[in-house]
Amino acid sequence: MRIGIITGASSGLGRAYAKHIDKRMELDELWLIARRETRLTALADTLDHDCRILALDLTDRESFDLLERTLEVEKPVVSVLVSAAGFGKFGEAQDLTAKETEDMIALNCHAAAEVTRLCLPYLHRGSRVLEIASCAAFQPLPGISLYAATKAFLLRYTQALRHELQGRGILVTAVCPYWLKTEFMAVARDTANPGAVRHTPLAMRPEAAAAWSLTMNGLGAGVVTCGPIPFVMRLGGKILPAGIPMRIWDNIRKL
């Protein structure tokens, strides 16, 4: 059985990937993962593929046991894995609660790495892995510092994973979009200091980011920046001392 696994499929970018993969790939099942089961069921009803709904909280360690057991029973070929579950919180480090801090690291870092680890035995030549990082990964970002650091983790993890899996013919990509028009902002602003990042201009449609990154993953790209702004941020992160992009960002976020 050939399957696609998409985490964060109940909303935004994850849902956009589910729709694109449904149209573009021939699979036996799509496994849709997120906490909101009704959202996943509603999405499944719109897709042509058979879907398996896995309503899992990926900050809860028992969720990984369930996924592991399901994989062991079905022994599928994971043709595509998209790790899109993630969230950010606006605010400086002192503004975040212990739970926000713990959950953000658990979801953005641990869950992405653990879901990937569980899938590794089921990836075959030609399988595709897309880890959803962010252009926040390219430099430290005051006012959204923990989120940016979790995405830097995911970017580095994915780059090394790509190297490790190259010999097996598996296509691994770190996807680094700029702001997207999703539920991310509402979640990010639900914090003690939402004004730490006042504006998020020029946000992209998630469908465009999903389509572009799937195409680039198919072409073997290791890191995909979805648009010119994240491309410039990637370049800046490589050539400038971290203090310069941080100072520029510090002014932009307070506008």
| Measured distance CA(245)–CA(78) in Å, rounded | 39
Token pair recorded at residue 149 = 């650091």
Task: Give burial (CB, 10 Å; 0-12/13-18/19+) of 6.
Answer: buried
CB of 107: closest distance to ligand NAP in angstroms? Answer: 5
Report residue 225: phi and psi, to 5°. Answer: -100, 130
Known catalytic membership, residue 122 = no
Judged by CB under 6 A, the residue of 3, 5, 6, 13 near ligand NAP is 13
Residue of 17, 122, 147, 178 marked catalytic: 147
Stretch touching ligand NAP by CB under 6 A, among 46-54, 78-86, 91-99, 162-170 = 78-86
Applying CB under 6 A, which of residues 28, 29, 57, 74 lies at the interface with ligand NAP? Answer: 57
Task: Give rounded-to-5 percent helix, strand, coil for the chain.
Answer: 55, 15, 30
| 152 contacts ligand NAP (rule: CB under 6 A) | no
Taking the complex as a whole, how short is the minimal distance between the CB of residue 72 and ligand NAP, in angstroms?
21
Go through the chain and tell me how many residues it has.
255
Strand pairing report for 223-226 and 51-55? unpaired
Among 47, 120, 165, 187, binds ligand NAP (CB under 6 A): 187
The footprint of ligand NAP (CB under 6 A) covers: 8-14, 34-36, 39, 57-59, 84-88, 107, 132, 134, 177, 179-180, 182-184, 187, 206
